[in-house]
């Protein structure tokens, strides 16, 4: 089951069409029980256990979607953003951490 947090829905809807298509494909693979690895997905232990970052790109730039695998068969999309710096911005990490805490509280 794929759950896009309400606070993240607008972020996902704001992604370019090609990126949203790639996101849908990656989430469908996760939902089917497949595991994703680099370069498409990498763990984000700095945010929390079971949290990963999807790495998507198109002509307009690079995009990241942070998701959590907390309960078997459940994918929670926490945060989506356009990447503008080499490292993941601290603000984006903080947003994902806050949303994760709100979700499990």
Which pLDDT tens digit goes with each residue over 23-80?
A: 999 999 999 989 899 999 999 999 988 999 999 999 999 999 999 998 777 899 999 9
Q: Specify the pLDDT at position 73.
A: 75
pLDDT of residue 105: 72
pLDDT in the model for residue 103: 82
Name all domains of the chain by residue range, CATH numbers in brackets. Answer: 2-104 (3.30.2310.20)
- Per-residue pLDDT tens digits for 77-104: 999 999 998 888 999 999 999 999 988 8
Distance of CA 21 to CAs 13, 16, 26, 58, 86, Å? Answer: 11, 9, 9, 11, 24
Is residue 28 exposed (0-12), middle (13-18) or buried (19+ Cβ within 10 Å)?
exposed
Helix, strand, or coil here: 104?
helix
48 by Cβ neighbours in 10 Å (0-12 / 13-18 / 19+) ranks as middle
Whole-structure pTM value: 0.93
């Amino acid at each position: 089951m794929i759950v896009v947090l309400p606070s993240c829905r607008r972020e996902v809807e704001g992604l370019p069409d090609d990126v949203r298509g790639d996101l849908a494909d990656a989430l469908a693979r996760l939902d089917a029980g497949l595991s994703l690895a680099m370069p498409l997905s990498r763990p984000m232990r700095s945010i929390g256990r079971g949290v990963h970052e999807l790495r998507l790109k198109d002509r307009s730039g690079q995009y990241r979607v942070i998701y959590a695998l907390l309960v078997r068969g459940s994918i929670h999309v926490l945060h989506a953003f356009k990447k503008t710096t080499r490292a993941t911005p601290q603000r984006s990490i903080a947003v994902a951490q806050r949303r994760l805490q709100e979700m499990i509280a």
